[in-house]
Amino acid sequence: QKEVEQDPGPLSVPEGAIVSLNCTYSNSAFQYFMWYRQYSRKGPELLMYTYSSGNKEDGRFTAQVDKSSKYISLFIRDSQPSDSATYLCAMSGGYNKLIFGAGTRLAVHP
Kindly list the residues in this chain that would bind another protein in the complex (CB under 8 A): 4, 6, 8, 31-32, 34, 41-46, 49, 51, 88, 90-103
C-alpha span between 73 and 24 (Å, rounded)? 9
Q: Name the residue nearer to another protein (CB basis): 74 or 88.
A: 88
Residue closest to 24 by CA, chosen among 3, 38, 8? 3
| Nearest distance, CB of residue 44 and another protein, angstroms | 5
Nearest distance, CB of residue 16 and another protein, angstroms: 28
In terms of CB distance, is 41 or 68 closer to another protein?
41
Residue 68 has phi, psi (to 5 degrees) of -65, -35
- Phi, psi (degrees; rounded to nearest 5) at 82: -70, -10
